[in-house]
Amino acid sequence: MTSTALELQGISKSFDGFQALTEADFSARWGEVHALLGENGAGKSSLMNIAAGLYAPEAGRMLVDDNLVQLGGPRDAARHHIGMVHQHFKLVKPFTVAENIMLGHPLASGEGSHRKRLAQLEAQIQAKAQALGFDIDPRQRTERLSIAEQQRVEILKVLLAGARILILDEPTAVLTDQEAERLLSTVHALARSGAAVILVTHKMADVKTYADRVTVMRGGRTVKTVDPRQVAVAELVQLTVGDSVAAAVRDERSPVGEARLRVRGLRTPQAGGRRALDGVDLTLHAGQIYGLAGVGGNGQSELAAALLGLDDRIEGDIQLEGFGDLKAASTSERRVLQVAAIPADRYGIALAGALSVAENFGIGQVHEGRYGPVWRLDRARMQADARDAVAAFDVQGVRNLDQKAALLSGGNAQKLVLAREFGRMPRIVLAHSPSRGLDVRAGAEVHARLLAARDAGAAVLLISEDLDEVLALADRVGVMTRGRIVAEFDQPADRQSIGQAMVHHS
């Protein structure tokens, strides 16, 4: 066996005239965890998508075990034992775990009845899951699994299909500290057993703790490959962004104003013997960031959906000062009331990927009549407003305002959402995992916008499973478990006490 598992040499790739990769290089060895670090839009995912057979390079070459290969698609990559777990999971939610895994498994076209082949696969899943320390029921429907469990299914899917070169794209972006530690310890052990693991990440702590080597990319080019144990975090940040990034600083002296939003007795319909929300009470004050922490799957997503008006089955009260029941407010009324919405799913909910950058920005003011009647929109004015907003919020990767929003990287897509929602200073900000999957610079810019909104008098709710983010920004911290807020802390809050509340009430 050669020491080099995968090598990419001089890779170039463009999309719609945009040069995503320029002569990028990367190599991973058998038996190592190799981290790939860079800002959003640096080309990391594009390079790994080429390694996984999803994109074809326009220049350069790829070697597996020192043998030149040309991939015609993901099936070719699988034949070369390459498997990729994407940041946005590719699971069929109504299917069981075993049915999802069978989609990419050799047993899918094997001999015997479907039921017999499925039973064989279920046994394989149980054996592999046990070896990896995963607690997975092969017969459980995927839609009932937590985010962490769905990720384990994706890993099982590629490993059972024969992958020995495992690419993980932002694997800890949606996990709690404990879940992330468990996952990375597992893949580290997998590498030590002889596999090659490529970790695409923004988290410096993950790189320093688990990676044997780290390659930094910037602007579609490879900058440098270093031993993370031999370099400081500050140097990695410098390599990643090219200059220093100022962290957002929470002003301890910010005064707290009147209660802007009161939530009382919020409940979802009972399903499967329990309620996702089971009596949520909280109050948001002007000039305050209320940070809601908790282990994933304890009702945070359902609370965000209720407050954002995405679920009309909610029981209880959401009273907005000066208006009344926010549940009764239409989308256009919410905008008039200056309620800013930053959902966790920026591509699925916050943006319409098939629409242009200008349309995604302007849609926030269409109902107010700023661009005239909907049957004859003033697109020139919309484009002018979008152009100013793109510049003001530093939305990179916008070659023209007519390009589809789906072509923006994660960080720049989030900046476009912020540009629209903060186009005028909001009175209420509802933010769910606003910096999930973002690099150091983009995350710092998001945090700065939330702090600026608070300092201007907005009441901000920050729902995040990243406890570091909550502690860095929040003036008051709540802990959510089993659909309720079970504890609250004023800053400076004790991290251990918050952690105990998260665990002991679950």
Q: Are 12 and 25 in contact (CB under 8 A)?
A: no
How many beta carbons lie within 10 A of that of residue 342, not counting itself?
A: 29
According to the model, what pLDDT value does residue 11 have? Answer: 96
Could you write out the three-class secondary structure of 26-73? EEEECCCEEEEEECCCCCHHHHHHHHCCCCCCCEEEEEECCEEECCCC
Q: For the chain, how are helix, strand and coil distributed in percent, rounded to 5?
A: 40, 25, 35
The CA–CA distances, whole Å, from 401 to 306, 309, 385, 490 equal: 32, 29, 11, 43
Comparing CA positions, the residue from 481, 418, 124, 125 lying closest to residue 279 is 481
Is 245-338+425-506 in the same CATH topology as 4-241?
A: yes
Dist CA 397 CA 408 (whole Å)? 6
Dist CA 292 CA 294 (whole Å)? 7
Task: Show me where the domains of the chain are located.
Answer: 4-241, 245-338+425-506, 355-423
Q: Tell me the β-bridge partners of 463.
A: 292, 432
According to the model, what pLDDT value does residue 327 have? Answer: 85
Dist CA 420 CA 362 (whole Å)? 7
The CA–CA distances, whole Å, from 185 to 13, 178, 381 equal: 33, 11, 53
> pLDDT tens string for the chain (506 positions)?
458 999 999 999 988 667 889 999 999 999 999 999 887 678 898 999 999 999 999 999 999 999 999 999 988 999 999 999 887 778 888 899 999 888 877 766 667 787 888 888 889 988 988 888 888 888 988 888 877 788 888 888 888 888 999 999 888 766 666 778 888 999 899 999 999 999 998 778 889 999 999 999 988 999 999 999 999 888 887 887 665 455 555 555 556 789 999 999 998 887 655 788 888 999 999 999 999 988 777 888 889 888 888 888 888 999 999 888 888 888 778 888 888 888 888 887 888 888 999 999 988 788 777 888 878 888 899 899 999 999 988 888 888 899 999 888 877 888 899 889 888 889 999 999 888 777 777 788 889 999 999 999 999 999 987 788 888 899 999 998 888 899 999 988 887 788 777 755 44
Q: Tell me phi and psi for residue 121, to 5 degrees.
A: -70, -40
Residue written as tokens 């709540």? 478
According to the model, what pLDDT value does residue 252 have? Answer: 58
The CA–CA distances, whole Å, from 300 to 76, 118, 461, 485 equal: 40, 34, 12, 10
Residue 22 is given by DSSP the state: E
Q: Tell me the β-bridge partners of 313.
A: none
Q: Tell me the β-bridge partners of 178.
A: none
The CATH number of domain 245-338+425-506 is 3.40.50.300? yes
The structure's pTM equals 0.61
Q: Kindly give the interhelix angle for 114-132 and 147-160, rounded to the nearest 10 degrees.
A: 110
Joined tokens for residue 63: 């070697």
Q: Are 414 and 393 in contact (CB under 8 A)?
A: no
Q: Are 117 and 265 in contact (CB under 8 A)?
A: no
Return the CATH number of the domain spanning residue range 4-241: 3.40.50.300
